[in-house]
């Protein structure tokens, strides 16, 4: 039996091949959880301009056929292909880039929490502008120092 991380990596490669004709789409994360014979394979996708249900369905159909052909997962499993959504932490530079201008809650590896508007992103760091009373404080944060970043939803 192939171990979990190997399955996740192979599924990632399969999905990347399926979405290769849509460069605006990207894989956020592949998660295999549960016990052999009763597992759940979750594929989280995103796009530079968002992602549609039809795009998720196309990936689901293509991946399902390929998984059956390769018999990659032992026993029964449930496949779920969906958008990463706002309730899932940001995972990649590409996700940060598409959220420039939005408010984030950033939890640092040491436990400190910063909240502010995402102003800038590059391959190594983000810039977060935090409003404190009447002043704006700019935080340059290394991506390596971030434990979790969540987009904050505003209902204004």
pTM of the model: 0.82
All domains in the chain, ordered by first residue = 4-83 (3.30.70.1350), 93-150 (2.30.30.100)
Distance separating alpha carbons of residues 49 and 94, to the nearest angstrom: 11
Q: What averages of pLDDT result for each successive group of 10 residues across the chain (156 residues)?
A: 83 97 95 90 94 96 94 89 90 93 96 96 96 92 96 80
For 27-60, b/e burial (b = at least 16 CB within 10 A) is: bbbbebeeeeeebebbbbbbbeeebeeebbebbb
C-alpha dihedral (138, 144, 146, 149), degrees to nearest 10: 90
């Amino acid at each position: 039996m192939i171990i979990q991380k190997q399955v996740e990596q192979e599924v990632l490669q399969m999905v990347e091949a399926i979405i290769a004709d849509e460069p605006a789409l990207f894989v956020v994360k592949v998660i295999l959880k549960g016990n052999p014979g009763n597992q759940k394979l979750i594929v989280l996708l995103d796009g530079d301009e968002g992602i549609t249900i039809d795009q998720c369905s196309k990936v689901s159909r293509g991946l399902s056929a390929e998984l059956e052909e390769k018999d990659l997962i032992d026993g029964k499993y449930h496949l779920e292909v969906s958008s990463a959504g706002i309730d899932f932490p940001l995972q990649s530079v590409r996700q940060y880039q598409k959220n420039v201008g939005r408010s984030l809650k950033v939890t640092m590896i040491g436990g400190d929490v910063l909240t502010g508007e995402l102003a800038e992103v590059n391959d190594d760091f983000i810039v977060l502008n935090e409003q404190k009373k009447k002043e704006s404080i700019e935080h340059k944060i290394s991506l390596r120092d971030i434990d979790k970043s969540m987009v904050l939803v505003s209902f204004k």
